[in-house]
Amino acid sequence: MGTTAHDDTAPAAPSPLASIVALGVLLALAFGTALLGVLASPDTAGEYASLTRPGWAPPSWLFGPVWTALYAMIAFSGWLVWRRGRLRGLALALFAGQLVFNALWTPLFFGLGLRGTALVDIVVLLVTVTATITVFARASRTAALLLVPYWAWVGFATVLNAAIWWLNRGS
C-alpha cells in the first residue's frame, strides 16, 4: 500500500460560515469605498453637470449603476482569491491599495476640485488595478477576469478625468 503525499502548504477550505463572513466583509469594504466618496462629496451629480465636459462624456445617472456592478465584482473577485488562501501579501496589498486610490478619487475630483491631483490618483489606480489583475490571475482566472470591466471603466474614467481637467483648467 503506497502513501499519499501530503501538501502542508495547501490552505484548508474555509468553512461555509467563514466564507459568508468573508464575502460580507469584502462587499462592505468595496461599497464602503463608494460611501466614503458620497459622504465626502454629496453633490457629485450637480458638480458634474456644472463642468465643461467632452461630448462623449456619459450622463451622470450612468455612474451609479456602473459602479454598483463594479463594486460587487471587485468584492467577489477578492473573495475568490481569499477562498484559495491567496488574499495575503502582495495580493492583499494591491487589493487594499486599489480600494484606497478608488476612495480618494471622488473627494479629490469633486469635493476639493483638485482635478489634476485626481488625474494622478486615477492613473495610480489604473496601474494598481492592472497589477491586481496580474497577481489575482495566479490564484484565480475568474477573479482576474472579474476585474477586467473595472480596469476598462477606470481606463475610460482616466481619459474622461484628463479631458475634464483640460477643459476646465481656467475655471
> What's 42-62 look like in SS3?
CCHHHHHHHCCCCCCCCCHHH
> Residue-wise over 72-106: b if at least 16 C-beta within 10 A, else e?
ebbbbbbbbbbbbebbeeebeebbebbbebbbbbb
- Rounded to the nearest angstrom, the gap between the alpha carbon of residue 120 and the centroid of all alpha carbons in its chain is 16
Angle at 159 (CA atoms; ends 155, 165), nearest 5 degrees: 140
- The pLDDT of residue 9 is 54
Neighbours of 132 (CB within 10 A): 28
pLDDT at 11: 63
Domain boundaries, the chain: 20-41+60-167
pLDDT tens digit sequence for 29-48: 999 998 988 898 889 999 99
Q: Give the tens place of pLDDT for each residue, 48-98.
A: 999 999 999 999 999 999 999 999 999 999 999 999 988 888 999 999 999
Band (171; pLDDT cuts 50, 70, 90): confident
Task: Specify the CATH number of the domain 20-41+60-167.
Answer: 1.20.1260.100
Residue 10: pLDDT band by 50, 70, 90 thresholds? low
* Rounded Cα gap, residues 161 and 121, in angstroms: 10
C-alpha cell read off for 12 = 484548508
Q: What pLDDT digit, counting tens, does each position of 101-156 carry?
A: 999 999 999 999 999 999 999 999 999 999 999 999 999 999 999 999 999 999 99
Measure the N-to-C terminal CA separation of the chain; round to a whole number of Å. 80
Residue 3 pLDDT: 46
pLDDT the model gives residue 6: 42
Closest to 20 (Cα-Cα) out of 75, 59, 58: 75
The whole-number pLDDT of residue 106 equals 95
